[in-house]
């Protein structure tokens, strides 16, 4: 089975092993070609059989025939195309933009899939494009020239490479953005056009040149392409990857460190999409990775005693009390304060922590989003939604970005707390649960009984672990959230509808609505986030894993 191995940092180590790539094949079979789009991916075996997978309900499958190339659309449209051995093209899947019905009957030597359109290179050296119109689209001639040897389709534009190494870029008649201005010096051997407005090409000396601009702003082309010699380059969303002459992969991006991650090894082909990349090794094995979120799932090495998963980032407290944060590098989100800490809690755009002296600190992606914490001596903080903190005397104080507010619960004393966007709950020292704030769908109306811990981070629902170890949830049950699996638990974590809990045997269980798939092993703590979850293993190391129904796409049976 083709699996993903991603770096413990951006470039090294191993942090997870999940199946993102092609389905398993007979040992005698190999993948010949692969193409990845926005979410969907298609691959071609050496016998010409095409298989596509994207995890959407439609999950369009290619017709039962052989192909010499197969391509996936690079936009939120489940449509794919294939080039038959006789040079004719066929497309299948969602026809809302006319890609399927608008496929011309010409004979092509090469196809290229863009965002909402496709282009084909004809045998006479001209190219034609189709699709791009809601409700249908008819073929549109290219720039009216011949002599092309390659075409690359973007969102609503295309670039063509001529036999003399020059490049011509051209926008479709209905294009909402102009085509990138092609370089005038020529000397290219291969080109690739992004769906977001920039393009890159390999020159005759093996170097890479890029042109255009990312979404009309100062984008990817402000980051110089890597030095070295290369055989191929692929432009994706806000990033690009190139295949070096030694078979290794290099990726670069203007926005995200995670986009620069690449798998180790030597490869024969690369395909760069919007949110994922794929490559074929020299032995025909397929490897795919979700580049935009690698950082969320790759915690640093070392021993930790606590971890918290937020929306697009996570933070942990090392055994020496210092903080470490990882994930999407936006603003100051991954720059925690120095010092030693006892508790930490991550939210969407900010994180708060309690230091060993009991003082609160908060930091955010941007300064105007930092919630100004109150003064005093605290033992716990919950940052999700409206942040609240538990004082040493058992009372609770809540606040916002403008300072302390009056949204505090009744007098405690509390043993622990958990907050949501507009309400919070806490376990009192006698084991009963008290909630405060909005009571949408009964989420702030806890059942009677005594509890060990409570999690109020659901979408209008709350979960708790009773003192007898049973788990129970209350509030909105429209998608089955308040239905924990049977068993005995020690703790529970809830964030934006994701629920994970530690069983009494120290294993992790996660349940609806997003079906987080926890790793095997034994853990002391777990934290559910918005797109991922993290846990502290009994040896103090960290493991993080992605939210299954968005980032993990099950490969179909071969």
Give tens-digit pLDDT for 497-539. 789 999 999 999 988 655 567 888 999 999 999 878 999 999 9
Most confident of 18-22, 42-46, 214-218, 376-380: 376-380
Read off the pLDDT of each residue in 537-547 and give the average, rounded to a whole number.
88
Instruction: Give the CATH fold of the 4-295 domain.
Output: Methylamine Dehydrogenase; Chain H (2.130.10)
How much of the chain, in percent, has pLDDT values that exceed 90?
A: 48
- Sheet (strand 140-141) strand order: 108-113, 117-122, 127-131, 140-141
pLDDT at 290: 66
4-295 against 299-550: fold identical: yes
pLDDT at 261: 65
Model confidence at 145, pLDDT cuts 50, 70, 90, reads confident
Contact 397, 404 (CB under 8 A): yes
The DSSP secondary-structure symbol of 556 reads P
Q: What is the pLDDT of residues 286-312, one digit of tens each?
A: 887 765 455 566 788 899 999 999 988
pLDDT at 551: 39
Alpha-carbon gap, residue 344 to 334, rounded angstroms: 13
Could you tell me the two tokens for 417? 């707390």
Model confidence at 400, pLDDT cuts 50, 70, 90, reads confident
pLDDT at 28: 52
pLDDT at 61: 82
Could you tell me the two tokens for 365? 């992606």
Q: What is the 3-state secondary structure (H, E, C) of 464-504?
A: EEECCCCEEEEECCCCCCCCCCCCCEEEEEEECCEEEEEEC
pLDDT at 296: 62
Q: What is the pLDDT of residues 333-372, one digit of tens each?
A: 889 999 999 999 999 889 999 999 999 999 998 887 888 8
Q: pTM value?
A: 0.62
Write phi, then psi, for 205 (nearest 5 degrees).
-90, 5
Residues 140-172 as b or e (16 or more Cβ within 10 Å = b): bebbeeeebbbbbbbbbbbbbbbeeebbbbbbb
Alpha-carbon gap, residue 429 to 100, rounded angstroms: 64
The DSSP secondary-structure symbol of 549 reads H
Could you tell me the two tokens for 463? 């979960």
The domain locations on the chain are 4-295, 299-550
State the DSSP H helix or E strand holding residue 548, giving kind and residue range, or none if neither.
helix 548-551
Q: Strands 148-153 and 140-141, how do they pair?
A: unpaired
Domain 299-550: which CATH class?
Answer: mainly beta
Contact 99, 134 (CB under 8 A): no
pLDDT at 297: 66
Model confidence at 555, pLDDT cuts 50, 70, 90, reads very low
pLDDT above 80 for 425: yes
Contact 112, 104 (CB under 8 A): no
Read off the pLDDT of each residue in 1-28 and give the average, rounded to a whole number.
40
How many CB atoms are closer than 10 A to CB 438? 15
pLDDT at 59: 59
pLDDT at 214: 64
Spell out the alpha helix ranges (H) of 199-312. 294-297
Mean residue pLDDT across the chain: 83
């Amino acid at each position: 089975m083709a699996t993903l191995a991603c770096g413990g940092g951006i470039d090294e180590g191993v942090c997870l092993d999940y199946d993102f790539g092609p389905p398993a094949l007979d040992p005698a079979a190999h993948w010949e070609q692969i193409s990845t789009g926005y979410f969907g991916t298609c691959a071609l075996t050496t016998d010409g059989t095409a298989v596509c997978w994207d995890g959407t309900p439609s999950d369009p499958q290619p017709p039962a025939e052989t192909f010499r190339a197969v391509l996936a659309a690079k936009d939120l449209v489940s449509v794919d195309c294939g080039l038959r051995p006789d040079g004719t093209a066929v497309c299948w899947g969602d026809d809302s933009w006319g890609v399927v019905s608008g496929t011309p009957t010409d004979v092509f030597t090469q196809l290229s899939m863009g965002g909402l359109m496709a282009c084909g290179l004809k045998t006479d050296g001209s190219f034609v494009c189709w699709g791009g119109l809601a409700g249908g689209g008819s073929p549109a001639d290219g720039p009216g020239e011949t002599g092309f040897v390659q075409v690359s389709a973007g969102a609503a534009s295309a670039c063509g490479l001529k036999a003399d190494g020059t490049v011509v870029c051209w926008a479709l008649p209905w294009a909402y953005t102009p085509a990138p201005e092609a370089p005038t010096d020529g000397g290219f051997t291969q080109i690739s056009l992004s769906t977001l407005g920039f393009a890159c090409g390999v020159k005759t000396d093996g170097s890479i040149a890029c042109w255009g601009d990312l979404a009309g702003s100062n984008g990817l082309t402000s980051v110089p392409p890597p030095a070295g010699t290369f055989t191929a380059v692929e432009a994706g969303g806000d990033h690009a990857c190139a295949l070096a002459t030694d078979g290794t992969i290099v990726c670069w991006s203007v926005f995200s460190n995670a986009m620069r991650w690449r798998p180790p090894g030597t490869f024969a082909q690369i395909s760069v999409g919007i949110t994922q990349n794929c490559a074929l090794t020299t032995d025909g094995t397929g490897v795919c990775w979700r580049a935009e979120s690698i950082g969320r799932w790759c915690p640093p090495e070392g021993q930790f005693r606590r971890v918290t998963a937020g929306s697009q980032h996570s933070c942990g407290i090392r055994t020496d009390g210092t903080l470490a944060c990882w994930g999407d590098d936006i603003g100051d989100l991954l720059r925690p304060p120095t010092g030693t800490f006892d508790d930490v809690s991550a939210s969407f755009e900010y994180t708060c922590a309690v230091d060993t002296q009991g003082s609160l600190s908060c930091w955010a992606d941007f300064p105007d989003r930092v919630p100004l914490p109150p003064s005093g001596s605290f033992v716990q903080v919950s940052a999700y939604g409206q942040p609240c903190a538990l004082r040493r005397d058992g009372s609770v104080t809540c606040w916002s970005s403008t300072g302390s507010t009056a949204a505090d619960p009744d007098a405690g004393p509390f043993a622990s707390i958990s907050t949501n966007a507009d309400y919070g709950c806490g376990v009192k020292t006698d084991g009963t649960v008290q909630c405060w704030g909005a009571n949408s769908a009964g989420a702030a109306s806890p059942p009677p009984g005594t509890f060990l811990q409570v999690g109020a981070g659901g979408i209008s629902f709350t979960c708790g672990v009773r003192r007898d170890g049973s788990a129970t949830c209350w509030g909105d049950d429209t998608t089955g959230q308040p239905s924990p699996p049977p068993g005995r638990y020690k703790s529970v974590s809830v964030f934006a509808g994701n629920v994970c809990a530690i069983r009494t045997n120290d294993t992790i269980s996660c349940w609806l609505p997003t079906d987080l798939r926890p790793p095997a092993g034994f853990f002391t703590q777990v934290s559910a986030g918005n797109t991922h979850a993290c846990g502290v293993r009994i040896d103090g190391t960290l493991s993080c894993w992605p939210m299954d129904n968005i980032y993990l796409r099950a490969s179909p049976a071969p």
